[in-house]
């Protein structure tokens, strides 16, 4: 692309190597989660939430299990102020939930913030000021010393107003635009703030290191976090937090590697809502941990309902391919994927292993409220026989023989390709019923009877063009005897009679289903299915269905053959 040389790497590596985090394999325990949906998320909406909507969203976050929730910037607007007062005065904050509010390092804003917090049972007051080179030079036009003075002054004011206000308060400091700040300077300003607050074991302080703008690859951010973790004063009494944004599409990776590097707390939003490309997605982070067998301490067992409420309140749409929550993330259209999933699901049903290992499915969709029906395998012109067969089996109890799946698969894909659309399970079922089940033209089965000596003698009645005929045949079994009669009296030539049957247990009472395949003289295989309350009748109907498909396909004349056989 043109103009690539106008860009450069504007982040800062630590002055010493910080790579201990690379020795860790995975995250072993959940961090403290802080939802910033009601602040970062809300301010990024085209239409910010009303007071009533914010209250409903707050309740959703509580139900999911968040113990820390940033509820806004109460000095920024009357709606923000009223929301916080409503939460406190109407006792809507559970005893085990801590609210968090944001404030700049300006006295009138800090004063207004503590007015809004009056009587709060447990609250984090989040102080921030921007520290990056770009912000210092272009926005504030201040020196490092002046930027430090802003932070220190704000920290002192938090001490002052907290002492004068009824409530229980914890402090948090963020060097906003941390990723564009020289690491030594970020460390210096954080330590200056810590010297003002002097955290203790009973009064810990949060230092939050935001990727306000993601500027580097995730391993750089992790090294920055590790360096800060190793060098912050009062480290045992500091809760190290990360707040990644997603400008480079690496928000989740930044958070995960940041946790490996020492972060104990993560700020983010549901489904990654937030300014520009958004905040880090806590749903993805939590369920990534879940996929490794670690309890994320958040409840996402009903993703569809959470997503529905999120979309209603934010007026945002969760993308179809969004990890875990998206409509299509557990869906396979590819034939090879469908076949592997179908076989994997069957293997798990049979073996009942301790751990989930189904191909192409990272976790069991059922565990987060998704359904197998219509979720895992969906059918279009790219689908394969395995997936199409799986749809029939899961939804309708139709367990096609392996050989028959290929024949039916072509029928379904031809319809999808011709109509240029995805086919729903009921549409697939209708294709199967119309093309394969109890096919009665041009030869209609009416009835049969038999006698048995050392072999079976069958008499079968059929109807062709409204005329009824009866003829007999012999064989080692009933179906074999009728097949011999059909071939003799109708002049048909086929071999390799393949037969399978089973009870039809879904939505059918006591019906039986049978499948028959026959191979014509030219080598083509024709399949039919029969469904009936009597298993023998279902088998005969399956044979007639296969015969009728062969007769129609090869344009054979059974009428003329009947005339000849009756002379």
Domain boundary assignment for the chain: 29-314, 335-435, 444-566
Angstrom distances, CA of residue 83 to CA of 51, 74, 162, 236, 428:
6, 8, 20, 34, 51
Residues 461 and 446: beta-carbon distance below 8 Å: yes
Q: What is the pLDDT of residue 509?
A: 62
φ/ψ of residue 312, rounded to 5: -65, -45
Q: Rg of the chain's alpha carbons, rounded to an integer?
A: 35
The rounded distance, in Å, linking the Cα atoms of 416 and 382 is 9
How many helices (H) does the chain have, and how many strands (E)? Answer: 18, 14
Q: Produce one character per residue of 263-291: b if its CB has 16 or more CB atoms within 10 Å, e if not.
A: bebbbbbbbbbbeeebbbbbbbbbbbbbe
Q: What is the pLDDT of residue 415?
A: 82
Q: Produce one character per residue of 134-172: b if its CB has 16 or more CB atoms within 10 Å, e if not.
A: ebbeeeeebeeeebbebbbbbbebbeebbeebeeebbbb
DSSP category for residue 490? H
Q: What is the pLDDT of residue 408?
A: 87
Q: What is the pLDDT of residue 225?
A: 98
* 3-state DSSP helix/strand/coil % of the chain, to nearest 5: 45, 20, 35
Q: What is the pLDDT of residue 89?
A: 97
Residue 466 has which token pair?
């409204």
Q: What is the pLDDT of residue 373?
A: 56
Q: What is the pLDDT of residue 385?
A: 60
For the structural domain made of 444-566, what CATH number should be given? 3.30.160.270
φ/ψ of residue 492, rounded to 5: -95, 150
What DSSP string describes 39-103? IIIHHTSSSPPPHHHHHHHHHHHHHHT-SEEEEE-TTT-HHHHHHHHHHHHTT-S-TT-EEEEEE
Angstrom distances, CA of residue 362 to CA of 8, 319, 341, 347, 414:
37, 19, 11, 16, 31
Counted residue by residue, the chain has a size of 567
265-268 and 32-35 as β-strands: parallel, antiparallel, unpaired?
Answer: parallel
**Homologous superfamily, domain 29-314:** Aldolase class I (3.20.20.70)
In tens digits, the chain (567 residues) has pLDDT values of: 999 989 998 899 999 988 999 999 999 999 999 999 999 999 999 999 999 999 999 999 999 999 999 999 999 989 899 999 999 999 999 999 999 999 999 999 999 999 999 999 999 999 999 999 999 999 999 999 999 999 999 999 999 999 999 999 999 999 999 999 999 999 999 999 999 999 999 999 999 999 999 999 999 999 999 999 999 999 999 999 999 999 999 999 999 999 999 999 999 999 999 999 999 999 999 999 999 999 999 999 999 999 999 999 999 999 999 999 998 888 877 767 878 888 898 899 999 999 999 999 999 999 999 876 556 666 655 665 667 787 788 888 899 998 898 888 888 878 877 877 777 888 889 999 999 999 999 999 999 888 777 778 888 899 988 888 888 888 888 888 899 988 888 889 998 788 898 888 766 567 899 999 999 999 999 999 999 999 899 999 999 999 999 999 988 887 766 656 555
Q: What is the pLDDT of residue 387?
A: 72
Q: What is the pLDDT of residue 506?
A: 66
The residue among 251, 290, 291, 289 whose CA lies nearest residue 267 is: 251
The rounded distance, in Å, linking the Cα atoms of 544 and 400 is 17
For 31, residues 6+ apart whose C-beta sits below 8 A from its C-beta are 259, 263, 264, 265, 266
Residue 124 has which token pair?
């984090």
Beta bridge partners of 512: 503, 532
The rounded distance, in Å, linking the Cα atoms of 410 and 432 is 11
Phi/psi region, residue 40 (left: phi>0; alpha: psi -120 to 50; beta: rest), is: alpha
């Amino acid at each position: 692309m043109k103009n690539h040389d106008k860009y450069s790497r504007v982040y800062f590596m630590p002055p010493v190597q910080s790579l201990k985090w690379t020795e860790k394999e995975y995250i072993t325990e959940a961090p403290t989660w802080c939802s910033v949906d009601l602040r970062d998320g809300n301010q990024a909406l085209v239409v910010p939430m009303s007071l009533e909507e914010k209250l409903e969203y707050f309740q959703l976050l509580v139900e999911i299990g968040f113990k820390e929730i940033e509820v806004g910037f109460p000095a920024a607007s009357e709606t923000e102020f009223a929301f916080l007062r409503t939460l406190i005065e109407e006792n809507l904050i559970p005893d085990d939930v801590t609210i968090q509010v944001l404030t700049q390092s300006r006295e009138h804003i800090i004063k207004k913030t503590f007015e809004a917090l009056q009587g709060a049972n447990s609250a984090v007051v989040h102080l921030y000021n921007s520290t990056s080179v770009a912000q210092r030079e272009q926005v504030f036009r201040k020196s490092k010393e002046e930027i430090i003075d802003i932070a220190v002054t704000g920290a002192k004011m938090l001490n002052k107003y907290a002492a004068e206000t009824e409530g229980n308060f914890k402090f948090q400091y963020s060097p906003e635009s941390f990723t564009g700040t020289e690491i030594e300077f970020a460390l210096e300003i954080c330590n200056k703030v810590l010297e003002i607050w002097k955290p203790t074991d009973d009064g810990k302080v949060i230092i939050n290191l935001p990727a306000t703008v993601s500027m580097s690859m995730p391993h750089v951010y992790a090294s920055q976090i590790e360096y800060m973790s190793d060098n912050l004063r009062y480290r045992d009494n500091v809760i190290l937090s990360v707040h990644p944004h997603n400008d480079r599409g690496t928000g989740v990776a930044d958070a995960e590697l940041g946790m490996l590097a020492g972060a104990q707390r993560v700020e983010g939003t549901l489904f990654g809502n937030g300014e520009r490309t958004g905040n880090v997605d806590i749903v993805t982070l939590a369920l990534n941990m879940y996929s490794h067998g670690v309890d994320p301490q958040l409840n996402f067992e009903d993703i569809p309902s959470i997503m529905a409420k999120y979309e209603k309140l934010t007026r945002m749409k969760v993308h179809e391919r969004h990890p875990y929550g998206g409509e299509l993330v557990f869906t396979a259209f590819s034939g090879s994927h469908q076949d592997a999933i179908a076989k994997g699901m069957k293997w798990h049903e049979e073996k009942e292993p301790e751990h989930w290992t189904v191909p192409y499915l990272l976790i069991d969709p059922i565990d987060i409220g998704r359904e197998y029906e219509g979720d895992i395998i969906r059918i279009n012109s790219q689908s394969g026989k395995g997936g199409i067969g799986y749809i029939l089996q899961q939804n309708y109890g139709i367990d096609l023989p392996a050989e028959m799946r290929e024949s039916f698969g072509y029928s379904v894909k031809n319809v999808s390709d011709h109509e240029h659309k995805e086919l729903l399970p009921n549409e697939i079922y209708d294709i199967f019923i119309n093309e394969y089940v109890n096919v009665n033209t041009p030869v209609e089965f009416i009835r049969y009877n038999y006698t048995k000596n050392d072999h079976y003698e069958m008499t079968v009645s059929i109807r062709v063009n409204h005329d009824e005929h009866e003829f007999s045949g012999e064989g080692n079994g009933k179906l074999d005897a009728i097949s011999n009669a059909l071939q003799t009296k109708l002049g048909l030539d086929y071999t390799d009679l393949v037969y399978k049957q089973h009870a039809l247990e879904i939505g059918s009472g006591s019906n039986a289903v049978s499948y028959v395949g026959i191979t014509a003289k030219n080598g083509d295989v024709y399949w039919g299915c029969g469904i009936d309350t009597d298993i023998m009748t279902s088998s005969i109907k399956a044979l007639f269905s296969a015969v009728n498909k062969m007769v129609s396909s090869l344009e054979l004349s059974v009428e003329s053959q009947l005339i000849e056989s009756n002379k």
